[in-house]
Amino acid sequence: MNAKVETEGSKLDTAKMVLAVALLLGGVAGFYHFADYNLLFRVLGLLAVVGVVLFIFAQTAKGAQAIGFIGSARMEVRKVVWPSRQETIQTALIVFAMVIIVGLILWLLDKLLFWLVGWITG
């Protein structure tokens, strides 16, 4: 009996997803169809359609999973210990210095190989 409930739910979820995609495509088509109207009104209409589509998507099982994942990700971001301004500047300076050093090494290697190939080929 439990599998039957999941099958019915997935059919309903599929119908919701098809409706959401159809609304989104209709909103984009309407955005371009009404090109003669003011851009502000077209963008507001498109944003309204996207809001409705997101609401419909949130009502599906996949949408609930996505909302749960986003909530978990936000909670994990709050746990991150972000570097201070001084640490960020020091790390950036070290990265810049290493880029310059590696660039010089690769330039010297290129010059050496160019000289070596020129010496071999005469």
Chain segment 43-79, per-residue pLDDT in tens: 999 999 999 999 999 999 999 999 999 999 999 999 9
Same domain, yes or no, for 24 and 46? yes
Q: What is the pLDDT of residue 4?
A: 52
Using 50, 70 and 90 to split pLDDT, how confident is the model at 110? Answer: very high
Same domain, yes or no, for 62 and 93? no
Cα(68)–Cα(70) distance, integer angstroms: 5
Same domain, yes or no, for 75 and 94? no
Using 50, 70 and 90 to split pLDDT, how confident is the model at 10? Answer: confident
Place of tokens 């640490």: 87
Same domain, yes or no, for 94 and 61? no
CA 101 to chain CA mean position, Å: 33
Number of structural domains found in the chain: 2
Measure Cα distances from 69 to 65, 74, 81 in Å.
6, 9, 21
Same domain, yes or no, for 27 and 11? yes
Parent domain of 34: 1-80
Q: What is the pLDDT of residue 36?
A: 93
24 and 51 Cβ atoms separated by less than 8 Å: no
Same domain, yes or no, for 9 and 65? yes
